Amino acid sequence: MAHPAQLGLQNAASPIMEELIAFHDHALMIIFLISSLVLYIISLMLTTKLTHTSTMNAQEIEMIWTILPAIILIMIALPSLRILYMTDEFNKPYLTLKAIGHQWYWSYEYSDYEDLAFDSYIMPTYFLEPGEFRLLEVDNRTTLPMEADIRMLISSQDVLHSWAVPSLGVKADAIPGRLNQAMVASMRPGLFYGQCSEICGSNHSFMPIVLEFIYFQDFEVWASYLYIV
């Protein structure tokens, strides 16, 4: 999760987030090189009065500064499109989880299990245990198996919401009357925090998301226990 004075992105916990961080670094390096080149040219123009007559009306230099930006745009667009298509791939998901946004909490339904659903509210400050995070902890964590593709179906019952977990590289709008789809996966167990990322009313800041990824066998025990209860 994020920490104070953090300058970069959160540590990746899913393959998609690793790809997004790599693309971020790739694009940032291109922007840095372009900015350095432009700054260098501006400094030359301001510090020297010499001009080269052959560059005042030359077709060669015009072709270079027309073709070079197109090549740079292609270098940025191709990795971006690759990641965009990767986020839309759904190859035999292990289970389907439906997240429904409300003002101002989330409700979850495990579609592969009968009558396995619950609401997830923010944890009041006076109920927090030592080590838990204020404004990020919930009363019912969403438990999922690690190293498995989870299909998320995201919708809303009242206004626009947005279901986002940065460390997993997932952000999907929750729209009333419409189901949006996203793929969630984690390569390691742990707790991953997110929040509603669409201004949805006065308590928009108070509907966090907590995903707890555990091992397969532990998830089956958890699901069977809740099913019996």
The Cα–Cα gap between 154 and 165 comes to 13
**pLDDT confidence band for 87 (50 / 70 / 90):** confident
- Residue for token pair 């947005």: 162
203 near 103, Cβ under 8 Å? Answer: yes
The Cα–Cα gap between 156 and 176 comes to 5
Report the 10 Å Cβ neighbour count for 175. Answer: 17
The Cα–Cα gap between 142 and 158 comes to 21
The Cα–Cα gap between 162 and 150 comes to 18
Q: What domains are defined for the chain?
A: 15-47+58-88 (no CATH), 95-227 (2.60.40.420)
Residue 8 has pLDDT above 90, yes or no: no
φ and ψ at 148, to 5 degrees?
A: -140, 145
- Cα 6 to Cα 79, 128, 161, distances in angstroms: 26, 24, 26
106 near 209, Cβ under 8 Å? Answer: yes
127 near 135, Cβ under 8 Å? Answer: no
214 near 146, Cβ under 8 Å? Answer: yes
185 near 132, Cβ under 8 Å? Answer: no
Q: Which residues pair with 106 in a beta bridge?
A: 101, 120
The two three-digit tokens of residue 162, written as one number? 């947005």
**pLDDT confidence band for 6 (50 / 70 / 90):** confident
Ranked by mean pLDDT, which of 42-46, 149-153, 201-205 comes out on top? 149-153
pLDDT score of 53: 62
The two three-digit tokens of residue 33, written as one number? 């090189």
The answer, yes or no, to whether the previous bond of 163 is cis (omega within 30 of 0) is: no
pLDDT score of 66: 87
Residue 227 has pLDDT above 70, yes or no: no
pLDDT score of 55: 59
